[in-house]
């Protein structure tokens, strides 16, 4: 028998609505574990998980680590600076070495699109994509959906606009696939220089003005604008970006309805989002963080059902 999710979680593009709902439905009751005196369940006792982070990330790595530890897994964090990756070892060798140490799962964050899949095709362990290049960041997409689902009940017919640098955003891609599969209407809004040329072929609407997006949407998922985009010449300045595309209280006040405000973090206050929006009554940014741990616990739980090594251990040790 195999896990209903398969061996790995690499992205949301190729999952079905049923699979996405299974993860969200599982995450829902797992939120409670983080409220307990002893925030730990024995579910993944004996499982070894490696957090292989080739790109710096505080938020996602900590969230995964909490999720793993609350499920009682043993975790090892590997960062390029502390590993032989910086000595020129290839990704595949790094992975095979880790696997030779009998690990059960790898959580990988990597700067190259497709790196998680590359790894998954070459090792037996379960692989969870924690962000690969500008491709996908499935657990972020899932936690965004869990947050929206809690607020809206159902996502069917809800209008979600993803704002900002969609071109370079793995969060945007995971959101687009996941939200559309669950029946939401999805739009993007940002300067055309930061939207993929073929964006309309991905089943989303495009707004050129943030005012139009605010008038249309039930929720805004506001992406982080990387400083490097300005240096690379995609936009003239952060100042102008804020003036044209920044989500401000004044703009939101003109909206016909209250909009939920999401942001994957870390925020550039005063660039893509103003502080009084980020900290305002309709911001669910902190709930996203809480949901992040629950969603990652759910993914760990569901994928562990397909770990051949754990199964073998269970047979031998029963």
Partner 1 sequence: MTDILLRGGRLLDPSTNLDAVGDLLIRDGKIESVGGKIAGPDGATIVDCTGQVVSPGFIDVHCHLREPGREDVETIATGARAAAAGGFTAVCAMPNTDPVTDNQAAVGFVLKQGRAANAARVYPIGAISIGQKGEQLAEFGEMVGAGAVAVSDDGKPVVSAQLMRTALEYARTFGIPVADHCEDPTLAHGGAMNEGLVSARLGLKGIPSEAEEIMAIRDILLAKRTGGHVHLCHMSTRGSVDLIRWGKDRHIRVTAEVCPHHISLTENEVEGYDTNAKMNPPLRTADDVLALQEAVKDGTIDVIATDHAPHHYDEKEREFSDAPNGIIGLETALAVNITWLVQPGIISVATLIDKMACAPAKLFHLPGGNLRRGTEADITVFDPTAQWVIDPKAFKTKGRNTPYGGRTLTGRVSCTLVGGRIVHSIMG
Partner 2 sequence: MGRAAYFTFDMTPAPTSVVLSARAFERTITRMADEIIERNDGTDRLLLVGIQRRGVQIAARIAALITARESVEVPLGALDITLYRDDLQTVGPRPVVGKTHLPVAIEGLNVVIVDDVLFTGRTIRAALDELADFGRPARVSLAVLVDRGGRELPIQPDVVGKHVEVPIGSRVDVCVAELDGKDEVLLVATEAL
CA distance 202 to 262: 21
Q: Which one of partner 1, partner 2, none is in contact with 314 (Cβ closer than 5 to 8 A by kind)? A: partner 2
Binders of partner 1: how many residues, by CB under 8 A? 24
Q: Give the residue from 244, 224, 35 showing the smallest Cα distance to 137.
A: 224
Question: Three-state SS for 71?
Answer: coil
* d(C-alpha 171, C-alpha 223), whole Å: 8
CB of 37 to partner 2, least distance (A): 5
Site for partner 1 in 4-23 (CB under 8 A): 13
DSSP state of 244: H
By DSSP bridging, strand 48-53 and strand 105-110 are: parallel
Parallel/antiparallel/unpaired status of strands 219-222 and 159-163: parallel
Looking at the Cβ atoms of 172 and 277, the one nearer to partner 1 is 172
Backbone angles phi and psi of 80, in degrees to 5:
-50, -40
The total number of residues shown for the chain amounts to: 318
Nearer to partner 1, 31 or 110 (CB): 110
Residue 257 tokens, joined = 């309805």
Separation of alpha carbons 290 and 301, rounded Å: 17
Name the residue among 156, 168, 169, 212 with its Cα closest to residue 189. Answer: 212
Residues 193-232 interacting with partner 1 (rule: CB under 8 A): 196-199, 201-202
Pick one of partner 1, partner 2, none as the site partner of residue 308 (Cβ within 5 to 8 A by kind): partner 2
Binding mask 152-171 for partner 1 (x = CB under 8 A): ------------------x-
Eight-state DSSP code of residue 7: S
> Please, which of residues 36-75 interact with partner 2 by CB under 8 A?
36-38, 40-43, 46, 71
Contact flag: residue 266 with partner 2 (CB under 8 A): no
Q: Which does 53 bind (CB under 5 to 8 A by kind): partner 1, partner 2, none?
A: none
When binding is defined by CB under 8 A, the residue of 56, 76, 156, 314 that contacts partner 2 is 314
Of 6, 46, 114, 265, which lies in the binding site for partner 1, with binding defined by CB under 8 A?
114
> Which partner from the list partner 2, partner 1, none does 91 bind, CB cut-off 5 to 8 Å by kind?
partner 1
Query: C-beta of 292: minimal distance to partner 1 in Å?
Result: 21
Burial 87-102 (b: 16+ CB within 10 A, else e): eeeebeebbeebbeee
Q: Which of residues 15-34 bind partner 2 (CB under 8 A)?
A: 25-26, 29-30, 32-33
Residues lying near partner 2 in the complex (CB under 8 A) are found at 1-4, 25-26, 29-30, 32-33, 36-38, 40-43, 46, 71, 298, 301-302, 304-308, 310-311, 313-315
């Amino acid at each position: 028998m195999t896990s209903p999710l398969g061996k790995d979680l690499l992205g949301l593009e190729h999952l079905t609505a049923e699979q996405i709902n299974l993860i969200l439905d599982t995450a829902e009751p797992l939120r409670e574990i983080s409220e307990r005196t002893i925030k730990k369940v024995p579910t993944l006792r004996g499982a070894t998980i490696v957090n292989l982070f080739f790109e710096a990330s505080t938020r996602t790595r900590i969230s995964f680590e909490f999720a793993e530890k609350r499920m009682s897994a043993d975790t090892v964090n590997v960062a390029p600076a502390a590993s032989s990756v910086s000595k020129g070892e290839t990704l595949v060798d790094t992975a095979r070495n880790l696997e030779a140490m009998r690990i059960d799962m790898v959580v990988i964050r990597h700067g190259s699109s497709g790196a998680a899949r590359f790894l998954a095709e070459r090792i037996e362990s379960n692989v969870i994509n924690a962000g690969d290049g500008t491709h996908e960041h499935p657990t972020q997409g899932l936690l965004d959906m869990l947050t929206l689902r809690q607020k809206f009940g159902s996502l069917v017919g809800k209008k979600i606009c993803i704002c900002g640098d969609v071109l370079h955003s793995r969060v945007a891609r995971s959101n687009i696939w996941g939200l559309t599969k669950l029946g939401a209407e999805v739009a993007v809004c940002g300067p055309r220089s930061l939207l993929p040329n073929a964006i309309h072929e991905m089943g989303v609407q495009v707004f050129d003005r943030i005012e139009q997006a605010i008038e249309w949407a039930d929720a805004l998922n506001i992406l982080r604008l990387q400083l490097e985009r300005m240096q690379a010449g995609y936009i003239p300045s952060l100042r102008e970006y804020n003036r044209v595309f920044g989500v401000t209280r004044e703009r939101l006040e003109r909206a016909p309805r209250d909009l939920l405000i999401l942001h994957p973090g870390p925020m550039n206050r005063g660039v893509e989002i103003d502080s009084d929006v980020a900290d305002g009554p309709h911001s669910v940014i902190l709930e996203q963080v809480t949901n992040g741990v629950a969603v990652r616990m759910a993914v760990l739980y569901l994928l562990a059902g397909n770990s051949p090594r754990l199964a073998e251990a269970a047979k031998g040790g029963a």
